[in-house]
């Protein structure tokens, strides 16, 4: 069996430390090897016993600083052991130390003794976060390519201040962790602007009835997140999505639409600045020929429903794109997924297409996992076995980069 991936979590002082407990627990339950280092201030909020229990491994504090492991200092052992280092919450104090290369405790010494990517999730009072010195330290630190960030969010803070300073939510931290474990911290999409569509469209018969499909938008969201974590600028055009999913799109420019015609306009409007265009949305093929302005009574519903065509978004994008732009489609299929995907690849003038089965358990609409086959115009064929949608997104980006897109 493959050795488990190795994540070192650093906890500095802040009430947001409670949020990292669910991250530690989720990683350990998923089979990853997790180690935790607490600063003295971090221990004031979370006891070492708590994180040790969640990580299934003793926690480290400054009391262990000079503890020798097989004759070597602990911070050296931990720094060499980690594949990824996560500091959450990142306090203003620890941020200042990292920005200036200072090391006066176990955590900061371990950072300097490591070479792996470091993910930072700041958390502090709004006025502290907005101080010029703190912002200067933050931007200075992020000039180092080792450091990756999840900016703090806005809301009501524990100090009752309303503003920016909330640590990122555990789900977003976990997503970024898995992205960095896959990419190793590579920013191989820097300089690219990706235009991605996702979710379903709704074509209304009246204000309460519509033709639609079960697409949740999770696959396109995963594509957008994976691209963002690898340095791309991302515009996501999405159909109706759950509010909990929308809340996880920080750092991504979003355009919310409902109908196929609205998606058509949004994709064409944002087309000029895109390098890669990815049509992951499940767009309706037809709509009711007429739409009632008020709810139809049951007795007034038509016995047969006249239908009208909606715009062929992929075909229009293919015709109007510039030579340097790459167009990637999706094909959700039942049965043998390859022939219809190859037909769509050629007929629509795509550069690549991702064919995924929707009649196989654990893949397709609504779930967190998927599987697919990536086909390119050059004849490449990459099977993507069952995995999380985030992992599938990374494999798609890997394959397209390898193919020279």
Binding residue positions for CTP:
285, 295, 311-314, 330, 344, 348
Q: Which residues is 387 bridged to in the sheet?
A: 370
Residue 18 CA neighbour count, 13 Å, CB half: 4
Annotated binding site: 285, 295, 311-314, 330, 344, 348
Question: For 184, what's the count of Cα atoms within 13 Å in the CB-facing half-sphere?
Answer: 3
In this structure, are residues 264 and 277 in contact, taking their beta carbons and an 8 Å threshold? no
Q: Please state, in angstroms and rounded to a whole number, the distance separating the CA atoms of residues 254 and 249.
A: 8
User: Distance between CA 370 and CA 362 in Å, rounded?
Assistant: 7
Specify whether the CB–CB gap between 268 and 237 falls below 8 A.
Answer: no
- Does residue 159 have an active-site annotation? yes
Q: How far apart are CA 77 and CA 202, in angstroms?
A: 55
- The residues, ordered by sequence, that sit 6+ positions from 149 with a Cβ below 8 Å of its Cβ are 119, 120, 121, 122, 142
- List CB contacts of 238: < 8 A, sequence separation 6 or more: 197, 198, 199, 217, 220, 221, 254, 255, 256, 257, 281
**Are 204 and 163 spatial neighbours (Cβ–Cβ below 8 Å)?**
no
Nearest to 20 by CA among 38, 5, 40: 38
Tell me the three-class secondary structure of 66-133, residue by residue. CCEECCEEHHHHHHHHCCEEEEEEECHHHHHHHHCCCCCCHHHHHHHCCCCCEEEEECCCHHHHHCHH
| Cα first-last separation, the chain | 34
Closest CA to 17 of 71, 87, 72, 98: 87
- Indicate which residues carry an active-site annotation: 159
């Amino acid at each position: 069996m493959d050795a488990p991936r190795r994540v070192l979590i650093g906890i500095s002082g802040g009430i947001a430390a409670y949020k990292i407990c669910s991250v530690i627990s989720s990683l350990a339950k998923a089979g990853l090897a997790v180690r935790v280092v607490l600063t003295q201030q971090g221990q004031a909020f979370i006891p070492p016993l708590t994180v040790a229990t969640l990580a299934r491994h003793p926690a480290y504090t400054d009391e262990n600083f000079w503890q020798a492991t097989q004759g070597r200092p602990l911070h050296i052992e931990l720094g060499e052991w980690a594949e990824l280092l996560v500091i959450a919450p990142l306090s203003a104090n620890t941020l200042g130390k990292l920005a200036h290369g200072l090391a006066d405790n176990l955590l900061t010494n371990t950072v300097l003794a490591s070479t792996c990517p470091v993910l930072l999730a700041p958390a502090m009072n709004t006025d502290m976060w907005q101080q010029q010195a703190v912002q200067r330290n933050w931007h200075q630190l992020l000039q180092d390519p080792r450091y990756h960030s999840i900016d703090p969010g806005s809301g009501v803070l524990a100090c009752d201040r309303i503003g920016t300073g909330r640590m990122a939510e555990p789900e977003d931290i976990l997503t970024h962790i898995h992205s960095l474990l896959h990419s190793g911290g590579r920013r191989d999409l820097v300089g690219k602007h990706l235009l991605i569509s996702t979710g379903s469209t709704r074509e209304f018969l009246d204000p309460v009835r519509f033709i639609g499909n079960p697409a949740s938008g999770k696959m396109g969201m995963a594509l957008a997140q994976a691209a963002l974590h690898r340095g791309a600028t991302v515009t996501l055009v999405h159909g109706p999505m759950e509010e909990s999913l929308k809340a996880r799109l920080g750092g991504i420019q979003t355009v919310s639409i409902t109908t196929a015609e609205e998606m058509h306009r949004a994709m064409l409007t944002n087309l000029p600045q895109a390098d890669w265009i990815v049509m992951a949305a499940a767009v309706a093929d037809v709509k009711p020929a007429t739409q009632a302005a008020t709810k139809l009574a049951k007795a007034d519903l038509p016995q047969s429903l006249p239908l009208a065509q909606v715009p062929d978004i992929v075909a229009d994008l293919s015709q109007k794109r510039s030579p340097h732009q790459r167009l990637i489609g999706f094909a959700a299929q039942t049965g043998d997924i390859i022939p219809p995907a190859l037909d769509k690849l050629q007929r629509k003038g795509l550069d690549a297409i991702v064919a995924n089965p929707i009649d196989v358990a654990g893949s397709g609409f609504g779930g967190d996992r998927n599987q697919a086959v990536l086909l390119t115009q050059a004849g490449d064929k990459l099977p993507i076995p069952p995995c999380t949608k985030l992992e599938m997104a990374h494999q798609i980006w890997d394959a397209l980069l390898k193919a020279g897109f």
